[in-house]
Amino acid sequence: MFRGRSEHNLDEKGRLAIPARFKEVLDQKNEDSLVITNQDGCLWAFTRDDWNVIEEKAASLPQFDQAAISYIRYFISGAEVCTVKNGRVTLSQHLRKTATLDKEVVLVGGLKRFEIWDRRKWEEEFQRAKAVFPKVSQALADLGI
């Protein structure tokens, strides 16, 4: 599972160093690439196996359902397979533009995925999440978490 947060810099070619604890997850799963897509102002990075589960579910959605169409057009169509080489992954210009990534980024563990945020946007999102956490904590407690 992907856990923790770390700050990194993208180089001019869009290369991003993968933290050692995230590389361990990839090594355990024998993965040499990630599937990266856009979501909610950041990028989500999945192992290929975890992405395959998402694609299988997406393929079974009703073909003419508007929510399914929007999901596929935005989330699924934005996905790119990105090779991990020498502990780094290169983010395409398209992915960087979609998530407005410049240089300073934060990688955020999300269990079966990790997120890649612009540092300033992450700070705003973290403050928002921190503010609502007491309220959602009760809802999570009701779910047994």
Q: Residue 109: which domain range?
A: 5-119
Domains contained in the chain, number? 1
User: What pLDDT is stored for residue 3 in this prediction?
Assistant: 96
pLDDT at 120: 97
112 has a pLDDT exceeding 90: yes
Q: Model pTM?
A: 0.93
Q: Is the pLDDT of residue 37 over 90?
A: yes
Which CATH number characterizes residue 73's domain? 3.40.1550.20
Per the domain annotation, does 98 fall within a domain? yes
Mean pLDDT of the chain: 95
- Has residue 140 been placed in a domain? no
Q: Is residue 53 part of a domain?
A: yes
pLDDT digits (tens, 9 = 90+) for 44-100: 999 999 999 999 999 999 999 999 999 999 999 999 999 999 999 999 999 999 999
- Rg (alpha carbons) of the chain, rounded to whole number: 16
Cα 15 from Cα 26, distance rounded (Å) = 17
CA–CA gap between residue 35 and residue 123 (Å, rounded): 25
- Which pLDDT does position 71 carry in this prediction? 97
